[in-house]
Each structure stands twice: as C-alpha cells, then as structure tokens.
Amino acid sequence: MSEGFEKYCFPDGKRYNSFVGYFKRKYGERLQKIVLDVGFTCPNRDGKVGRGGCTYCDNAAFHPSYSTSGKSLHQQLDEGIEFHKVRYRTTEHYLAYFQSFSNTYAPIERLKALYEEALSHPSVVGIVIGTRPDCVDEEKLDYLAELAKKHVVIVEYGIESCYDSTLERINRGHDFETARRAIEMTAARGIDVGAHFILGLPGESRQMMLDACELINQLPIRSAKFHQLQIVKGTRMEKEYAERPEDFERFTLDEYLDFFVDMLERLRPDLYIERFVGEVPPRFVNETPWGLIRNVELLRLLDKRLEERKTWHGRLVCQKK
C-alpha cells in the first residue's frame, strides 16, 4: 500500500471511510436506523414553495412496509426493531429515523413532542432527522443542539445537487446557497450533519458530478449519502426521461462502480460515506438494469474495485496538499 493510504488507514480494512464504522468506533456498537413516517408534508407540495414536489419523488418507493403514517410512532419503532433483528441480531440500540418528507416542517412544539416521544422508547438512543435546508431556523436548531447534549442527533439534509440549474429543473424549490447556509448553521451548533446527493440528474454530465466534489468538500458535513438516479414510475421525471433520454447520464453497474471510485478519490477522507447506491423495489420502476443485486453485494463490489484500482477515498485530495 502507498504512503497516502497508510496515512488515512480506514477501519475494518476498507479503502473508504464507512459511516457504520463511525458508529461502532464512537458508540461501541452498530446503531441501526428505524424509518418513521409521522405524517409530515413538504413546502414543495403544499404550495408554500411549490406544488407537486420534486420531479423524481415518490416517497412510497423509499421506505419500508412497517413505516406508515397510520401507525403510532411507537408501533413503527417496535415493528422496525423486529424487522431489523432478523438481519442485525446483535444490535441492541436504535436511532429513530424521521425520513418521509420534511421532518422539521412543523411548529416547534409539534417537533418537540414527536422527537421526545421517539427518544422515550427504551431501545432508542438518538434521532436522525431528514429534512430540506429551507425548513430549519434558529429556534429549531437551538432546540436540537440542546437535545444533542444528551442524545445522538443527526440532521440529514436533502441537497441532491450542487448546481442551481439542476435544482431548478427538478423543481427542488431552493438553491445551493440555501443548503450551504442551513448546513453551516447546524454544524456551528455542534450537531452532526449529513447530506444526500443524487447522481445522474438531468442535465448533469459525469464531469459536472465529479467537479461537485470540491463543493461538497467545503461543506461542514460529517457524512454523505449518494444514490444513483432511479426513474420511478408515475413521476414527472419518468415523462421527462421518455421525452429527452439524451439529457440523462445512465450507468451500467460496472460504469457506476468506476465512477463512484472516481468520486471517492476526490472526496475528503474524513467524510463518512453512508451510502453509495439506492434500492427501489422493482414494482416502482420500469426497468432494473442492474438486476436484483442487493446492497451488501454492491458494497463488496465497491471494495473489490477500489482494491483492483489500488486507490482509496481521498487519494486526489491528499495529493493536492
């Protein structure tokens, strides 16, 4: 191994910084997320910012069957724990993951009641809050900073793209500067910040996506999720893709593995990578070009590709220093 890789010797023998590894090192165990749907909506749906939501979005495609807003919060947690025990038998503690829609888009008193109800569950040691960068303010962040003194608190912002032209095209309803500002406000309070990006949005070339790594590196985020774009049936993006497929960068599995390795080389090595692919149930898409390959196998293939290329997370960042 080269001098650069040894300097950033990542845990578990990996060539990239794993978010699962972060939990194990900081808390001494794996903390599994339990996805919750507590009936939030989104300012891009109810008319405050826009209507119809983002062009790629169908929330039903992205959360498990136990997570439905018709169930109580504790029922979802109990069923989620039973669901995950099948795979993660040694896991003892969990994070309540407020995922569906924008989970800070409510008055502060409602947020307090929901977050504290989740934290009252005996197996829950923290919360992860998925939201939009235009749905936070000083009061909400001050409250979360107080919670973070006693519990695990992570705010996960959907950013999706670093390019305003893309954000406008997908009807996101905010620009990149709004995301940067929200992230800085959150990190300044000592709250862990995660960010979500979609790779392959219309109008973005592969080079544009690689160039965005420099902007991502400048953000004070602790972790990042990257998902390949999946065209979900019934969305406005499905229609756009049918009309203008040439505007979309589509990857074979081999191409995506190599492309994401290219990204990892450009991302700062202290950024924890939570995901690099997304899984949508086959019934929500018209095609499954990668087959029905599961996430655990994709992670194995990523490890293998990094080893084959004799490279690692942050290699090109280190060379610049």
Q: What is the pLDDT along the chain (321 residues), one digit of tens a residue?
A: 445 555 556 877 899 999 887 877 777 778 899 999 998 989 888 878 878 888 888 766 566 667 777 789 999 999 999 988 888 777 889 999 999 889 999 999 999 999 999 999 999 999 999 999 999 999 999 999 999 999 999 999 999 999 999 999 999 999 999 999 999 999 999 999 999 999 999 999 999 999 999 999 999 999 999 999 999 999 999 999 999 999 999 999 999 999 999 999 999 999 999 999 988 888 888 888 898 888 899 999 999 999 999 999 999 998 776
* The residue to which tokens 């979005």 are assigned: 57
pLDDT at 62: 62
pLDDT at 203: 97
Can you list the domains of the chain with their CATH numbers? 3-320 (3.80.30.30)
pLDDT at 126: 96
* The residue to which tokens 């000592």 are assigned: 190
Dist CA 115 CA 107 (whole Å): 13
Query: Tokens representing 149?
Result: 């003194």
- Which of 194, 159, 197 shows the shortest CA–CA distance to 175? 159
Residues in CB range of 92: below 8 A, 6 or more apart: 29, 123
pLDDT at 289: 85
pLDDT at 7: 56
Is the CB of residue 56 less than 8 Å from the CB of residue 118? no
pLDDT at 169: 96
pLDDT at 199: 98
pLDDT at 286: 84
DSSP assignment of 261-303 equals: HHHHHHS-TTSEEEES-----GGGBS--TTTT--HHHHHHHHH
Dist CA 230 CA 279 (whole Å): 9
Dist CA 41 CA 55 (whole Å): 16
Query: Tokens representing 190?
Result: 């000592």
**What are the C-alpha distances in Å from 117 to residues 75, 77, 98, 112?**
12, 11, 12, 8
pTM for this predicted structure: 0.92
